[in-house]
Structures are given as structure tokens and as C-alpha cells.
């Protein structure tokens, strides 16, 4: 490994080079969000007079962490420190002007960071793309509605990171006029929101949404209810001063406890929209940063000049139900309660059963929840905005194959990191490198020229199915798509 130094508007930055890729880790795009900056909008990028080393991952933001069994499937590194609003940059040539891929991680808005092994941007740089992987504030720090604090600080962080890319990426060999933002789960939901946000206009030119779209925000009233409950549990006011007086670790613990309480009381009606999506700390409609439901803004033309690619995995919700051992215990009666919560008539089960005649009630619940949470919101976006659509169909071998084509399984294929040992925790042994080659190439091609290799969705509802034998199909599963018309 050799080192390389670049001159940037912030000062000199020292990274490393290996196999033709220059890597710069933990470069701050804003000041540390602590002390006087706690619960405030992100500040301007810091500057330095000496050469700054960017050889190790920067600090990660405060987060709750995953519990078993999720922690056994997903890596969640923790790097101590306060300079957590940072980016990692992977460049093929710091003197060039390559297209830029910006990754916004998932984690239900309470977990994730740019230190996750699967988010290594080396393969993108190897193939001629500058990759930027960002951190942003999560949970209470990023999304709680706090009196005296700007709304949706986690989204403001994402905007600040994109502004950093606009103003600084040329120093690392990137073209600020060819920026594609990409994310999975909460990262994709963030992108659906960024598409709708006036503050983010002009900061990106293409977008790829993996397992997330434009429906996952909550109302201000619900956000206030959650923040008030959090503050009450801590014996403080729901203000900047009140919550900032609580040690960070104690605040994170209280956030976890409140989320557990909301899950236990989901049927009470006390927690509004969160009773359905179980994400207590997520973007909320504040009228300014997030003016309205993102999908509604997209439908009205917001983000119309941004080229889109969007998709899901086939069995997203298997990730949340199979490792926990819930699926065998789902009864027909419980499934009908889920349908009622989604405002669906029980008769729609006929369509789902016709699609999979051998499915158990638990299998059917995976299909229904996958559609409500991921597939139908994606369909709504592409009905309003031209896009290339994909579905990831390859099934993990874990849990006797029952994990299936689950949530987050596509990520190591997109990043072409199947060689990393952490990958097998979700794929199982010997995942197909040929599929990683195919998917990674499609993402690179879309970043470069907006064409991943298949037609846009359009009137034919064309979808690229990525699997052991990939194919292009028109309108997969139309019967279970149309049952949601007027509902979701």
C-alpha cells in the first residue's frame, strides 16, 4: 500500500492507493454535531492547515445497534469519536473527472454507517466511478422532533454531504455534474424524500432506490407524540436543552426502550402511522425540509429531471420474520388482522394464494408485507416518474433456504464484495459471482450513462429480474399488484 495526497478546498488530505484505487476514509463534511452543534443543522465543512490523514474509518454516529438474530446477519461496526459526519471516497484517478456514485446507507434510520464492510466502494472505483459513502445522524439526533431544533437533521446532513460532493469531489477525481445517489432501505427512503425536497434540487442527476421509495415519512403530530414520550421517560423537556442534558448513551438506551414500547402497544392506536412501519425515528412532514408526503410531491413533478432506477427483492420481509422464528406461528386469523391493518379485504388472499398455492399463512404474510412496505411504494413512484425497474430474485441458502430473496441480500452483489467474509452471513456459502458481475455492471452503466441495459418500466411494466438466470419480464404478478389500487 502506498499513500497519496490531494489538495482540496479543506486542505491537504492523505489517503492510500492499492491496485489502482485511491481511498480516503473519514473525511468530515461538517463539524462534529456535539457541544454547541448538538441537534443543530450541519455546519460548513471544516478546514485544516496541516495534511490530514484519511487512512482509517472515521467515527460512526450514535445508534442503537442490532439485536440477535439481526446482529448475526448484518455487520454494524462502531468507531468511537465525535467527528461522525464524514465520508469515504474511493477514486480511480484523482486527476480525472469520473462520474460519481454516492451511497446512503440503510438501517431503519437508527443504524448503519459508512464503515460497514459491504459498503466498500473499491469495485466502483476499479470500474471507473468515484464512490462516496456517507454517514448521517440517526435516531433521536437525526429525526426526533425537538422544540428549538431544525427539523429532519438527518436529511439536512444528507443534503450537506451532497453539497460537499458538489464543492469538493473534483479534488478527488469526480465530476460534480454527474452525480448518482444510491441507497438501500432507509437510504432509498431517504432518496425518495430527497427527490421531493426543494433543499436538494440540483445536487444529483440520477438516483437508484433499492428497497425503499416515497411513502415512509410520518406526520408532525406523530413525531411530536414520540418525542414527548421519549422526554417524559427521561424526566426532561422535549427541547434542545432538555435532551442535550442527557448523556448520549442514556439517550440511545431510552430510544431503544421507547421503540420496544411502541412495538408492544402497536394495536393501541396511540402511535399513529408508526404502528404500521415500526420506525419511531424517521423523517417527518415538517412543511419546509419535508414539505409533504414525498410520493405526492414526486407525483406532482418534483425531481422530474432526475433519471431513476428502482427495485426490490422478491421476499423482502423474510429478513424480518424468518430469523426470528415467527413464520411457522403465523395463523390465518393473524394474517387477516394484518390485512385489516393495511385496509385490505381478506378476499385478496385468493390472489396471493393463486400466486403461490403451497404457501403457508406465514409465507403469505411475507408476500403481503413485502408489497405494502416495499414493492407497491416502488410501483407508485415509477407510475409517476419514468424509471428502470429491477427485482432481485436470487435466494439465500440460510435458514434452510427460507431466508429467500430477502431484504439487504442484493447489497453485496451491487458492491461486488462477495469475497468479503461478512457476506456469507446473509448469502450463505458460495453465492454466484456471475450475478455480482451482472448487477454491479448494471449499476456502473446506469451511473455512467443512465442505461443499465434494459428498457424503462413504461406501459409494458418492464422489470429486470436478477437471479441465477436473469431475465426481463413484463408486469410480474399483476394480480397482487392491482389489489393495492386505491389502498397503497
Whether 316 sits among the annotated catalytic residues: the reply is yes
Residue span of the structural domain in which 363 resides: 317-482
The pLDDT of residue 437 is above 90: yes
- Tell me the sheet residues that pair with 396: 404
**What value does the mean pLDDT take over residues 33-54?**
97
Residues 170 and 248 in one domain: no
Cα distance between residue 185 and residue 144, in whole Å? 19
Work out the burial of residue 340: count CB atoms within 10 Å of its CB; fewer than 13 is exposed, 13-18 middle, 19 or more buried: exposed
Residue 257 DSSP symbol: H
Whether 267 sits among the annotated catalytic residues: the reply is no
Cα distance between residue 77 and residue 59, in whole Å? 10
Whose cell is 421503540? That residue is: 259
Residues 341 and 460 in one domain: yes
pLDDT for the residue numbered 282 = 97
Helix, strand, or coil here: 435? helix
Residues 323 and 437 in one domain: yes
Residues 96 and 233 in one domain: no
**What value does the mean pLDDT take over residues 406-423?**
97
**What value does the mean pLDDT take over residues 425-436?**
98
The pLDDT of residue 269 is above 90: no
Domain boundary among 184, 207, 229: 184
Helix, strand, or coil here: 148? coil
* 214 inside domain: no
* 208 inside domain: no
Residues 243 and 331 in one domain: no
pLDDT for the residue numbered 304 = 97
Residues 321 and 263 in one domain: no
Annotated active-site residue in 168, 205, 215, 407 = 407
**What value does the mean pLDDT take over residues 452-476?**
98
- How many structural domains does the chain have? 3
φ/ψ region of 133 (left if φ > 0, alpha if ψ in -120 to 50, else beta) reads beta
Q: How confident is the model at residue 215 (pLDDT cuts 50, 70, 90)?
A: very high
Per-residue model confidence as pLDDT tens digits over 160-207? 999 999 999 999 999 999 999 999 999 999 999 999 999 999 999 999
Per-residue model confidence as pLDDT tens digits over 84-126? 999 999 999 999 999 999 999 999 999 999 999 999 999 999 9
pLDDT for the residue numbered 16 = 98
Cα distance between residue 448 and residue 123, in whole Å? 14
Domain boundary among 157, 184, 211: 184
Other CB atoms within 10 A of residue 38 CB: 16
**What value does the mean pLDDT take over residues 308-329?**
97
Annotated active-site residue in 75, 91, 113, 185 = 185
**What value does the mean pLDDT take over residues 466-470?**
97
The chain-wide mean pLDDT, for the chain, equals 97
> Crossing angle for the helix pair 220-234 and 248-264, nearest 10 degrees?
120
pLDDT for the residue numbered 1 = 78
* 303 inside domain: no
The pLDDT of residue 322 is above 90: yes
Q: What is the pTM of this model?
A: 0.97
The pLDDT of residue 249 is above 90: yes
Annotated active-site residue in 171, 316, 385, 391 = 316
Give, rounded to a whole angstrom, the gap between the first and last alpha carbons of the chain: 51
Residues 116 and 17 in one domain: yes
The pLDDT of residue 372 is above 90: yes
Cell of 133: 459513502
* 205 inside domain: no
Residues 151 and 249 in one domain: no
**What value does the mean pLDDT take over residues 22-38?**
98
* 300 inside domain: no
pLDDT for the residue numbered 267 = 85
* 101 inside domain: yes
For 268-272, 331-335, 351-355, 478-482, which range has the lowest pLDDT when averaged over its residues? Answer: 268-272
Which among 86, 89, 8 is positioned nearest to 47, based on CA atoms? Answer: 8
Residues 325 and 471 in one domain: yes
**What value does the mean pLDDT take over residues 327-334?**
96
Amino acid at each position: 500500500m502506498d499513500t497519496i495526497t490531494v489538495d482540496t478546498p479543506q486542505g491537504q488530505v492523505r489517503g492510500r492507493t492499492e491496485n489502482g484505487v485511491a481511498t480516503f476514509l473519514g473525511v468530515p463534511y461538517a463539524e462534529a454535531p456535539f457541544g454547541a452543534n448538538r441537534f443543530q443543522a450541519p455546519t460548513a465543512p471544516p478546514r485544516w492547515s496541516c495534511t490530514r490523514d484519511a487512512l482509517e474509518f472515521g467515527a460512526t454516529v450514535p445508534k442503537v445497534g442490532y439485536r440477535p438474530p439481526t446482529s448475526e446477519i448484518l455487520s454494524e461496526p462502531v468507531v468511537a469519536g465525535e467527528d461522525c459526519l464524514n465520508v469515504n471516497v474511493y477514486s480511480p484517478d484523482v486527476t480525472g473527472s469520473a462520474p460519481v456514485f454516492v451511497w446512503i446507507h440503510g438501517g431503519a434510520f437508527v443504524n448503519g454507517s459508512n464503515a460497514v464492510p459491504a459498503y466498500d466502494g473499491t469495485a466502483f472505483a476499479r470500474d471507473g466511478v468515484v464512490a462516496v459513502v456517507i454517514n448521517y445522524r440517526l435516531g433521536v439526533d437525526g429525526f426526533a422532533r425537538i422544540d428549538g431544533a431544525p427539523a429532519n437533521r438527518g436529511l439536512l446532513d444528507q443534503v450537506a454531504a451532497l453539497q460537499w460532493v458538489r464543492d469538493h469531489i473534483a479534488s478527488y477525481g469526480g465530476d460534480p455534474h454527474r452525480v448518482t445517489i444510491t441507497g438501500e432501505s432507509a437510504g432509498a427512503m431517504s432518496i425518495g424524500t430527497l427527490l421531493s425536497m426543494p433543499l436538494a434540487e440540483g445536487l444529483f442527476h440520477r438516483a437508484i432506490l433499492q428497497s425503499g421509495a416515497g411513502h415512509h415519512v410520518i406526520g408532525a403530530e406523530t413525531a411530536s407524540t414520540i418525542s414527548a414520550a421519549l422526554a417524559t421517560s427521561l424526566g426532561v423537556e422535549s427541547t434542545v436543552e432538555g435532551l442535550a442534558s442527557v448523556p448520549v448513551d442514556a439517550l440511545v438506551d431510552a430510544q431503544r426502550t421507547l421503540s420496544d414500547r411502541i412495538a408492544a402497544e402497536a394495536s393501541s392506536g396511540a402511535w399513529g402511522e408508526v404502528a404500521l412501519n415500526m420506525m419511531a425515528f424517521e423523517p417527518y412532514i415538517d412543511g419546509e425540509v419535508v414539505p409533504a408526503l414525498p410520493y405526492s410531491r414526486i407525483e406532482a413533478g418534483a425531481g422530474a429531471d432526475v433519471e431513476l432506477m428502482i427495485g426490490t427483492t422478491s421476499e423482502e420481509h423474510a429478513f424480518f420474520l424468518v430469523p426470528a422464528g415467527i413464520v411457522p406461528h403465523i395463523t390465518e386469523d393473524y394474517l387477516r388482522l394484518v390485512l385489516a391493518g393495511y385496509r385490505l379485504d381478506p378476499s385478496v388472499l385468493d390472489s396471493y394464494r393463486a400466486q403461490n398455492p403451497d404457501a403457508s399463512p406465514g409465507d403469505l404474510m411475507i408476500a403481503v408485507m413485502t408489497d405494502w412496505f416495499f414493492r407497491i411504494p416502488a410501483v407508485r413512484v415509477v407510475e409517476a416518474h419514468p424509471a428502470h425497474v429491477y427485482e432481485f430474485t436470487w435466494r439465500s441458502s440460510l435458514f434452510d433456504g427460507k431466508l429467500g430473496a430477502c431484504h439487504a441480500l442484493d447489497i453485496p452483489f451491487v458492491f461486488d464484495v462477495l469475497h468479503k467474509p461478512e457476506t456469507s452471513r446473509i448469502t450463505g456459502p458460495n453465492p454466484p459471482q456471475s450475478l455480482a458481475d451482472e448487477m454491479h455492471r448494471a449499476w456502473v452503466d446506469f451511473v455512467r450513462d443512465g442505461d443499465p441495459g434494459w428498457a424503462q418500466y413504461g406501459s409494458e411494466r418492464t422489470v429486470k429480474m436478477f437471479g441465477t438466470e436473469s431475465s426481463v419480464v413484463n408486469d410480474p404478478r399483476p394480480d397482487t399488484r392491482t389489489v393495492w389500487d386505491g389502498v397503497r
